[in-house]
A and B are shown apart, each in its own frame.
Chain A
Amino acid sequence: MSFLQHGVPLSWYLLLSAVLFSLGVVGFLIKRNIITVFMSIELMLNAVNLSFVAFAYQWHAVKGQIFVFFVMMVAAAEAAVGLAIIIAVFRVRATLAVDRIDLMKL
């Protein structure tokens, strides 16, 4: 098999990344629980990370891998802040349904 000799082709990684990203988008759009929405965001971020690493490997460019670290760091920070917000919202509103958190609506 060719991938045993040449490794996995780039397109496979990208396909996997696209699938993961789409799953993240769909999850984001259809889920009501804010924690699930949050996890969907993480899924999208990691799908992007995957394509970064794949491209970096393909083009022998280290920049892409460095970007991954940035994304991870931002994701970690976002998780910390986001979870704090979620806890604060839950304490006040006693709900985690995103549809119910709409005080800013006109």
Chain B
Amino acid sequence: MNQSLHLWLIPLLPFAGFLLNGILGSRMPKWLVSAIGLLAPFLSFALVLNAYALTSISAASCAGCGPVAAVVLPYIETCPLPWFAIGSLHVDFSFVLDQLSLVMLLVVTGVGFLIHIYSVGYMAHEEGYARYFSFLNLFLFFMTTLVLAGNVLVMFVGWEGVGLASYLLIGFWFQKQSAAAAGKKAFIVNRIGDFGFLIGIFLLLASFGTLTFSEISAKLATNPATNPALTGGVLTVICLCLLLGATGKSAQLPLYVWLPDAMEGPTPVSALIHAATMVTAGVYMIARTHFLFDRAPIALTTVAIVGAATALFAATIGLAQNDIKRVLAYSTISQLGYMFLACGVAAYSAAIFHLVTHAFFKALLFLAAGSVIHAMGGEQDMRKMGGLRKKLPVTFWTMTVAVFTIAGFPPLAAFFSKDAILYAAFVRGTGGKILWFVGLLTAMLTALYMFRLWYMTFFGELRTADTHPHESPWSMRAPLVILALLSICGGWIGIESLSSYLAPSVGLHPAVSSTLHLELILTVVAVLVALEGWLIADKYYRRKTERPAQLAAAMPAGYNLLANKYYVDEMYDAVLVKPLFAVSRYVLGWIVDTGILGGIAWLLAGIASLTGMILQRWQSGNLRSYAAWLAAAATAVLLFVLLAQGAIPMAEPLTRSLHFTGAGH
């Protein structure tokens, strides 16, 4: 029971790696940078594994465990020094390890470590090698802080921190104009979401007086609808604010626009931050605060609608993209929509399940895409690829696993998680049927665009003449293989056992598994739909490769709409960015800054210099004139004092002045 898990080391080890590589990295040999950069996440992963082992001992009935003390979840570790205390508000640096954060930590540190290994090969020839690894470690520091946070404020620190790390890594090639702009875009769009999150935090504080998750949950549980402040409107507003934060971080409608641009960063970064871990923080946050959402049905419905809409919306865009990483980016947005959909039907464990499997197969997809890009010498346009199956066998086979997984074929991981989500949506009333249908449609589109990517990249003939693709080094292939295995087996745990494991953290899975027939039918339908998507892709991108172009030519409006991503960027630019710029430049810049503020400054300066021009006449440089002014002033002061003393009648000037002089006695 008293066994310490040293949770604080899990974030701090990557932080140490960040400091070492960030400060000394440029003076250290490359192998040392790699060693530090890899050791930090590895040790964190080992600590998480250790925590998992210790806690699962206590869960299982283990008589012969002997000296190993069991650890009971949730396990709380609080920094002895409080962060701050204002009045009745106490905020500590507290870390909480429960089933939810443990699962999340396993994913973050585990996948994170694999991607670190991959990065050694991928970034080997880069200029800012040490900078890259220090930022990657910094990301892990903030991400683990976010996951372990015991109160909303610590979570917010991690939340902002991962945003910072994301910004730094998107703009890793900051000499490139587009990369720098993409970094800024990600940061600014996330600010909008963070604004919502902050308002949510303030409202939580105002209505509960505490920011600790467990205390808020306890207060909600002990006040069964008696306290009006804890039910209805306030909770809905809080949840909607939190949802706004989540849509920013997790790239949901309407704040998803930063994620496709974030592909300007190095591919392992896209895999780690913009696919597997950081963008799932919104899902994690909703699951973490599920006790709020459970009591705010309107907000919960909004979550489901946002998720379903995003899933479908992003999947349709993904159909018409030609940049291999952009396809994956829209796929990520779409899959995150699935997770939101699951949260919205209160199937939090299904959301976490899909989060985990998604982390495996999407990281794999990105890393395999990175391997393809690496082999093509930096080329990302799928129209210039093709026929890479023979040249890159390991990449091809791992990518194949990932494609079949994301399409949802049994017995691969996403089959189970996607199925759990669709089932949970289906059994959720009439509205749930619509959500289920949207999810199903998305599943077909997902299969379609993923097989399109697969065919365009690996089949047919190489469409670029002067490239000689070569397989990547082992440091890149090994993570691919491991992730492929995880993508195959990751779903075998099953939703039942996972949801019963997660139940103490996120509540019971609402879906009852008594209607086995229904579940079976739904599963078969989902698989058939995925198969349909594959067949369409097979027809259009393998057998009749001229058809997509004809189709696009036949429906230019529809194709352009998709290829230009529904013109959302252009719309935001016209509706928000341009007016803001105009207001900044003309109203704030010209009128307020130059006109009012500048005018005041000029006025003050004018007064000062005018006064100076007048006063400088005194500065004649003539000593005697100075002395005369001095004497005159002294006389004036003397007269004034005498006047004030009432001594002006001058009846007895001597005695008066004596009084005056003697006043000091």
User: Does B543 sit at the interface, judged by CB under 8 A?
Assistant: no
How distant is the Cα of A99 from the Cα of B658 in the complex, in angstroms? 39
How distant is the Cα of A29 from the Cα of B661 in the complex, in angstroms? 28
A100 to chain B minimum Cβ distance, whole angstroms, is 10
In the complex, chain B residues whose CB is within 8 Å of the CB of A25: 627, 631
User: Does B621 sit at the interface, judged by CB under 8 A?
Assistant: yes
How distant is the Cα of A61 from the Cα of B661 in the complex, in angstroms? 13
Minimal Cβ-Cβ distance residue in B for A22: B631
B621-A105 in contact (CB<8A): yes
A102-B622 in contact (CB<8A): yes
In the complex, chain B residues whose CB is within 8 Å of the CB of A98: 622-624
Which residue in B620, B631, B662 is a CB contact (below 8 Å) of A59? B662
Which residue in A10, A30, A61, A99 is a CB contact (below 8 Å) of B622? A99
B100-114 interface code vs A (CB 8 A; 1 in, 0 out): 000000000000000
A55-B621 in contact (CB<8A): no
A105-B654 in contact (CB<8A): no
Within 8 A of A (CB), among B204-248: none
In the complex, chain A residues whose CB is within 8 Å of the CB of B616: 106
Residues A104 and B621 in contact in the complex (CB < 8 Å), given A14-B654, A55-B661, A59-B665: yes
A37-B631 in contact (CB<8A): no
Residues A28 and B665 in contact in the complex (CB < 8 Å), given A11-B654, A105-B619: no
A29-B619 in contact (CB<8A): no
User: Does B644 sit at the interface, judged by CB under 8 A?
Assistant: no
B665-A29 in contact (CB<8A): no
User: Does B663 sit at the interface, judged by CB under 8 A?
Assistant: no
In the complex, chain A residues whose CB is within 8 Å of the CB of B627: 25, 28-29
User: Does B81 sit at the interface, judged by CB under 8 A?
Assistant: no
Minimal Cβ-Cβ distance residue in B for A104: B621
How distant is the Cα of A73 from the Cα of B616 in the complex, in angstroms? 35
User: Does B63 sit at the interface, judged by CB under 8 A?
Assistant: no
User: Does A101 sit at the interface, judged by CB under 8 A?
Assistant: yes
B642 to chain A minimum Cβ distance, whole angstroms, is 14
How distant is the Cα of A99 from the Cα of B627 in the complex, in angstroms? 12
Contact-size category for A: 20 to 34
How distant is the Cα of A103 from the Cα of B665 in the complex, in angstroms? 47
How distant is the Cα of A29 from the Cα of B621 in the complex, in angstroms? 14
Residues A106 and B619 in contact in the complex (CB < 8 Å), given A11-B654, A30-B624, A98-B624: yes
B660 to chain A minimum Cβ distance, whole angstroms, is 12
Minimal Cβ-Cβ distance residue in A for B655: A11
B446 to chain A minimum Cβ distance, whole angstroms, is 81
User: Does B60 sit at the interface, judged by CB under 8 A?
Assistant: no
User: Does B628 sit at the interface, judged by CB under 8 A?
Assistant: yes
A99-B619 in contact (CB<8A): no
Within 8 A of A (CB), among B17-55: none
A41 to chain B minimum Cβ distance, whole angstroms, is 10
How distant is the Cα of A99 from the Cα of B665 in the complex, in angstroms? 44
A30 to chain B minimum Cβ distance, whole angstroms, is 7
B619-A28 in contact (CB<8A): no
How distant is the Cα of A37 from the Cα of B624 in the complex, in angstroms? 9
How distant is the Cα of A32 from the Cα of B623 in the complex, in angstroms? 9
A101-B661 in contact (CB<8A): no
How distant is the Cα of A55 from the Cα of B658 in the complex, in angstroms? 9
B627 to chain A minimum Cβ distance, whole angstroms, is 5
How distant is the Cα of A46 from the Cα of B1 in the complex, in angstroms? 92
Within 8 A of A (CB), among B586-631: 616, 619-624, 627-628, 631
B623 to chain A minimum Cβ distance, whole angstroms, is 4
B632-665 interface code vs A (CB 8 A; 1 in, 0 out): 0000000000000000000000100010011001
Minimal Cβ-Cβ distance residue in B for A103: B621
In the complex, chain A residues whose CB is within 8 Å of the CB of B662: 59
In the complex, chain B residues whose CB is within 8 Å of the CB of A32: 624
A84 to chain B minimum Cβ distance, whole angstroms, is 18
How distant is the Cα of A59 from the Cα of B664 in the complex, in angstroms? 12
Which residue in B620, B658, B661 is a CB contact (below 8 Å) of A105? B620
Minimal Cβ-Cβ distance residue in B for A14: B654
How distant is the Cα of A36 from the Cα of B624 in the complex, in angstroms? 12
In the complex, chain A residues whose CB is within 8 Å of the CB of B631: 25, 29
B592 to chain A minimum Cβ distance, whole angstroms, is 37
How distant is the Cα of A10 from the Cα of B631 in the complex, in angstroms? 25
How distant is the Cα of A25 from the Cα of B620 in the complex, in angstroms? 20
In the complex, chain A residues whose CB is within 8 Å of the CB of B622: 98-99, 102
Minimal Cβ-Cβ distance residue in A for B623: A98
How distant is the Cα of A62 from the Cα of B194 in the complex, in angstroms? 76
Residues A29 and B620 in contact in the complex (CB < 8 Å), given A11-B654, A55-B661: no
In the complex, chain B residues whose CB is within 8 Å of the CB of A102: 620-622
A33-53 interface code vs B (CB 8 A; 1 in, 0 out): 000010000000000000000
Minimal Cβ-Cβ distance residue in A for B657: A14
How distant is the Cα of A30 from the Cα of B665 in the complex, in angstroms? 38
In the complex, chain B residues whose CB is within 8 Å of the CB of A10: 658
Residues A29 and B654 in contact in the complex (CB < 8 Å), given A59-B662, A105-B619: no
Question: What are the 5 A-B residue pairs with the smallest beta carbon separation, nearest first?
Answer: A105-B621, A102-B621, A98-B623, A11-B654, A28-B627
List 13 A-B pairs, Cβ < 8 Å.
Answer: A14-B654, A28-B627, A30-B624, A55-B661, A59-B665, A98-B623, A99-B622, A99-B624, A102-B620, A103-B621, A105-B620, A106-B619, A106-B621
Given contacts A98-B622, A99-B623, A106-B621, 4 further A-B contacts (CB under 8 A): A29-B627, A59-B665, A98-B624, A106-B616
